[in-house]
Amino acid sequence: MLILPDDFQPASLPAADIEGPAWWFVFAGSELLVRLTFAGVELPVASRWPFAKWPPARCLYLGMLGDRPCHAAEVVEGSPPPGLRFESLRGLWARLDESLLGVAGHALQLIEWDRAHQFCGRCGTPTERLGDQRVRYCPACGLEAYPRLSPVVMVRISRGREILLARAPRFAPGVYSVLAGFVEAGETLEQALHREVAEEVGIRVRNLHYFASQSWPFPHSLMVAFNAEYAEGEVRVDGQELLDARWFAPENLPALPSPMSMAWRLIQDFVARERDR
C-alpha cells in the first residue's frame, strides 16, 4: 500500500546541523524524477540541488527519512539529464523502494499545494511562508492556506460469502472495485457512506465498521475505509457513474485495482477471511 513510512519525521524547516546527502523528490507535473539503474530505479541523492544547469521552480524541505534529509522540488522547463526520466507514481509501484514511494506521495501533495497557493484566494496578494509552519500566509488579509485534504469514504459491502464490486468508466478494462465517494460539506463519514451506496447502487447497508485509512495523493484524498453488511434492496446502476455492479465470491474475483490502493487491501482482507473461515 502507498503509505508514509513510520521512520519519516515531517518538518518544514531543516534542523541547523543537517548536512550530508539528501533524497531529492523532483516533480514535473505529477511525475517523479528517477534514475534508471541496472537493478531498477533510484532517486537522486545530493546535499544540495544536484542539477546546476536545470533550476527548480520551487523547493520544499520535507523532513527526515531515517537519518537522511528529504527535499521536494518542481521543475517546469527543460528536460532531465541523461540517465534520468520522469515517471508516474503508479508506474513506480514495486520498482521504487516502498518507503521512498510513500514519501513521494507526501511530496507530490505539498508541491501541488505550494504551487496552487502562491496568491491569496481571497484578495489576490502574493502569499508568504510563515515560520516553520506548513502554511501559505497572506500578509494583506491574514488568510492562511494549509495543504488541502479531501475525505473519501470507501466501503466493502458483504452478503454472505460475496462482496459487491463495481466498475466505473475511468477504470482500466475489466477492473472492478469497492464503492467510494467524496464526503460532502456538513456530512459525517457514515452519512456520506449511506448516501453514496444509495446513489450508486440503490441498496441499503448496516453494521458499518471502520477498517483503515490511507492518504491518496491524486491529488489530495484521504481514503477512509469501512466494512458493511448488505441490508435490503436490489442492486442497480445508472450506466454513467457506474457501468456495472455485481456480487462476487472470493474464488471468482474480477481484475482488481492497484496493490497501492486501499481498495486492494480491503478486498484482500475479505479473501483472507473467507479462506480462513
Residues that bind Zn ion (CB under 5 A): 120, 122-123, 125, 138, 140-141, 143
**Phi-psi bin for 202: left (phi > 0), alpha (psi -120 to 50), beta?**
left
Q: Which of 213, 8, 31 is nearest to 98 (CA)?
A: 8
9 versus 118: smaller Cβ distance to Zn ion: 118
Residue 57 beta carbon to Zn ion: minimum distance, rounded to whole angstroms: 22
Q: How far is the CB of 206 from Zn ion (least distance, A)?
A: 47
Residue 128 or 184 having the CB closest to Zn ion: 128
CA 189, 194, 200, 201 torsion: positive or negative?
Answer: positive
State the Rg of the chain over Cα.
21
Minimum CB separation from Zn ion for residue 78, in Å?
A: 33
Give the shortest CB-136-to-Zn ion separation in angstroms. 10
Closest to Zn ion by CB, 120 vs 263, is 120
How far apart are CB 147 and Zn ion at their closest, in Å?
18
Four-CA torsion 13, 18, 23, 29, nearest 10 degrees: 20
Give whichever of 138 and 260 is closer to Zn ion, judged by the CB atom.
138
Rounded to whole angstroms, the Cα distance separating 20 from 95 reads 26
From first CA to last CA, the distance across the chain in angstroms is 25
Torsion region of 40: left, alpha or beta (phi above 0 gives left; psi -120 to 50 gives alpha) = left
Per the document, the length of the chain is 277
**Given the complex with Zn ion, which of 122 and 236 has the nearer CB atom?**
122
